[in-house]
Structure 1
Amino acid sequence: MIVLEFKLKGKAEQYRIIDDMIRTAQFVRNKTLRYWIDNQGIKLVDLYKQCAIMAKEFEWAGKLNSTARQAMAQRAIFAIQRFFANCKAKKPGKKGYPQFKKHTRSVEYKTSGWELSTDKRCLTFRDGFAAGKFKLIGSRDLHFYAPQEIKRIRIVRRADGYYAQFCINVERKEEPVSTGKIIGIDVGLNHFYTDSDGETVPNPRYLRKSEKALKRLQKRVSRKKKGSKSRKKAINKLGRKHLKVSRQRKDFAIKTALCVVKSNDFVA
C-alpha cells in the first residue's frame, strides 16, 4: 500500500467533533483490551462481537462507525500478538505487555463511514458523529486512484492541525535506469553517510541546533498552571517545534537518499 496525506480544513466545531471521535476510538480500544485480559484466549472475531455489544451499551460509542470500532479492536489484537511473539522469541527484557492508551491521536475508518466528493478534493464523514465536510489540502492528487482502491482512512491529530491519511492498495512499478555504477554507503554519527569513494555528507544536526529553543519552550510549559489555557497554548507551541524538527530530519534523509539512488545504479 501507499499512503497519501492531506491536511483537513474545517471549522472549529468540526475539529472538536474529531476530538470526540478520537476519544471514543481510544475507549473502544481500551475496552476491548480489558475484555481480552478478563477472557484470555479469545480471537479477533470475539473482539468484533464485543464492539457491537459496546455500541448498544454506550450510545455515544455507537456513533462511531462500525469499521472504525473494528479497526481499534485490530490495534488491540496486534499489540497482543506482538507481546506473544516477543515471548516466543525469548526477547530479553520487557516483552511489551499490552497497555491501556491515554493519549491516542488517531482514528481509522475502513471502506465505510466516509465519502469523497466528485472532484476528490473534499472528505465527508457519514457516521453518527456527523463531522461534516472537510477540504483536503495537499500536493498529491487522488484522481489517479479509484475509490475502491482506498482501503483505509486514518485521521491524525498533530500539533499544527488535523490530517487525513489515505491507505491505497496499488502496486508501484518503477523502472530503474542503469548507470553502471556501484557504491557502498556507511551511515554514522559524525557524518550523515560516507560512501566507498571517500565522499561524505555532513550531518545537519537539526535537533542539536534546536535544543535551546526546545528547552526554552519546555520551561514555559512547566511554569504554567496545570489545566489552564495558557499551559495548553505552551504545549502546542512546544509540539509545533518538535514537529518542525522531525520534518526537517525526515526531508533531509529522503532527499539525500533520492540523490544517491539517482546518481548510482546500486547502493550497498
Structure 2
Amino acid sequence: MEFKAVLKEPQKLAINEAIRTARFVRNKVLRYWMDNRGTGKKELYRYNTQLREEFKFVKDLNSHACQASVENVERAIKRFFDNCKNKVPGKKGYPRFKKYFRSVEYKQSGWKLSPDKKSIKFTDKKGIGQVKLKGTWDLWRFDQKLIKRVRIVQRADGYYVQFCVKIDNSEQLEATGFTVGLDVGLKEFYTDSDGYTERLPRFYRNGEKRLKFYQRRVSRKKKGSANRKKAINKLGRQHLKISRQREEHAKRLARCVIRSNDLVAYVRAACRRQDLRVKNLVKNHCLAKSINDAGWYQFREWLEYFGQKFGRVTVAVNPAYTSQNCSSCGKVVKKSLSTRTHICECGCQLDRDHNAAKNILTRALSTVGHTGTFLNARGESTSTLLGSGLDEQVGSLNRESPGF
C-alpha cells in the first residue's frame, strides 16, 4: 500500500540525502563484488559494515536500510547467474551501477508509526523526522509487526511512502463455469475466444503532442539552470500520468476478466524462451512505439495477481502457430501480418485475433483438463506455462482429466 507524503523542504532534503546514501552503499558493494570475484553473501555484508565504520553519512542511515541496499546487489547478481545458467537469449543482465536512484528502503527498524496510523516517524540520524501520510488505505487495521518493509519513493509529483504488509488477501469466489482465451494485439487491446474485443486506449499516442511540447521546453533551457529542472519535472509528470493511465487500465481489465471466468488462457508476453518476447518485438521500428504503448506485460502481471487473489486459474500458452492454425479443423493456414481475416477450406471464417484466441483456449484446456480442479495441495491457484510439454510448470495441479 502507498501513501502520499506531506513534507516540508528540510525533510525533502533529508530524504534526498538518505536516497543518495542508499545508492552509495549499493554501488560500493557492487564494486567490491566486481573487484573480488567469488565473494559470497557474508563478505558483502561485512564490507557494508566497513563502510558504516568508514563513512559517517553511511552510519547516519539506519543499518537495516543499508542492508536493503546490499540485498539489492544480491538480487542483481543472482538474476545474472540464473540467466547465464538458464541460457537466456540476448544480454544476461550483468549488474550495473546506479546513477539515478529514487528510493530508500527500511526494514522493521528505523521508523515508528503514530498511534492514529496517519503519520510515520523515521528515527535514524538523517533527520527526516515525522512524515504525515495522505491516502485512503486503512493502515490502522494492521498490527505494526505485520509491516515488513517501509520504502520512501521519489516521483515527479512528490514523495510516497510504501508499506509491505504480510497479510493473506485471498478471496474465494463462486465458480462461474466460464473459460476464456485472450489474444492481445495492436488493432484491439485483446480479443477473447467469444469474439469480444476490448478497445486499445493508446495512452501514449494520445499524450504524445503534450509530451513533445514539454520536451521542446526542456531543450530550450540552459543546462544546469533552475528553469531546466522545472521543465524536466513537468515532462516527468506527463510521463507519470501516462504510465498511471496504462497501469490502471490493465488492472481494471484484468480484475474484470478474472472475476468473470474460472480459467483465463493467454499468450505469455515476457522475456523467456518459448514466450512472446516483447523485447524482440520492439526491435521492429515500425511497431515499437505501439507495442510499448499497449502494455501487454502489465496486463499479464495483473492477470496472474488477481488469479491468485481470487482463486482463479491463469494459464500461459506457447504462442507458436496460434494465429496460423485453424481453430475449427486444426489445419495450418499461413497468412502475413497484414491479413486480418482467417479463411480455411473447412469453411471457418473468423477475424484473425478471434481465431487465435480460440486456439489459445483450446491449448490450455487440452493440457490442463477439467476447469473445476485447478487447485494445488494448499488450495491455491497456479499459473502454468504451456506449449512444449509442462517443463516450465509453476506449482502443481490436481487434475481429474484421465489423460494425465
Q: Tell me which interval the TM-score lies in, with the shorter structure as reference length.
A: over 0.9
Q: Tell me which residue corresponds to 2:167.
A: 170
Tell me the TM-score normalized by structure 1.
0.95
Q: Tell me which residue corresponds to 1:159.
A: 156
Q: Tell me which residue corresponds to 1:146.
A: 143
Which of 127, 130, 133 is the aligned partner of 2:127?
Answer: 130
The amino acid that maps onto 1:145 is F
* 8 Å CA contact retained: 1:44, 1:74: no
Q: Tell me which residue corresponds to 1:187.
A: 184
Is 1:197 the counterpart of 2:169 in the alignment? no
The amino acid that maps onto 1:83 is F
Is 1:37 the counterpart of 2:28 in the alignment? no
The amino acid that maps onto 2:243 is S
Q: In the TM superposition, what is the alpha-carbon distance from 1:210 to its structure 2 partner? A: 0.6
Q: Tell me which residue corresponds to 2:15.
A: 18
Q: In the TM superposition, what is the alpha-carbon distance from 1:136 to its structure 2 partner? A: 0.9
Which of 38, 50, 62 is the aligned partner of 1:65?
Answer: 62
Which of 55, 76, 79 is the aligned partner of 1:79?
Answer: 76
Is 1:102 the counterpart of 2:99 in the alignment? yes
The amino acid that maps onto 1:175 is Q
How many residues are matched? 265
Tell me the TM-score normalized by structure 2.
0.64
* 8 Å CA contact retained: 1:28, 1:73: yes
**Cα distance in 1 for residues equivalent to 2:98 and 2:170:** 38
Identity of aligned residues (%): 55
Structure 1 unaligned residues grouped into runs of 5+: none
Q: Tell me which residue corresponds to 2:259.
A: 262
**Cα distance in 2 for residues equivalent to 1:267 and 1:85:** 29
* 8 Å CA contact retained: 1:64, 1:127: yes
* Gap change, CA 1:92 and 1:262, over 3 Å in 2: closer
Q: Is the radius of gyration larger for structure 1 or structure 2?
A: 2
Select the structure with the greater relative contact order (CA < 8 A; seq sep ≥ 6).
1
The amino acid that maps onto 1:242 is H
The amino acid that maps onto 1:119 is D
Which of 34, 52, 55 is the aligned partner of 2:52?
Answer: 55
SS in 1 for 2:189: strand
**Cα distance in 2 for residues equivalent to 1:192 and 1:82:** 31
Structure 2 unaligned residues grouped into runs of 5+: 266-404
Q: In the TM superposition, what is the alpha-carbon distance from 1:183 to its structure 2 partner? A: 2.2
Q: In the TM superposition, what is the alpha-carbon distance from 1:216 to its structure 2 partner? A: 1.4
**Cα distance in 1 for residues equivalent to 2:195 and 2:164:** 40
SS in 2 for 1:163: strand
Which of 203, 207, 212 is the aligned partner of 1:210?
Answer: 207
* 8 Å CA contact retained: 1:26, 1:72: yes
| 1:221-252 deviation digits (Å, cap 9, x = unpaired) | 11211110001000000000000000111111
Is 1:242 the counterpart of 2:239 in the alignment? yes
Q: In the TM superposition, what is the alpha-carbon distance from 1:91 to its structure 2 partner? A: 2.5
| 1:97-138 deviation digits (Å, cap 9, x = unpaired) | 111110000111001000100111101100011211111111
| 1:42-96 deviation digits (Å, cap 9, x = unpaired) | 1222211111111111111110000000000111121111111122222233221
**Cα distance in 2 for residues equivalent to 1:185 and 1:148:** 41
* 8 Å CA contact retained: 1:55, 1:61: yes
**Cα distance in 1 for residues equivalent to 2:66 and 2:59:** 9
Q: In the TM superposition, what is the alpha-carbon distance from 1:13 to its structure 2 partner? A: 1.0
* 8 Å CA contact retained: 1:177, 1:265: no
SS in 2 for 1:128: coil
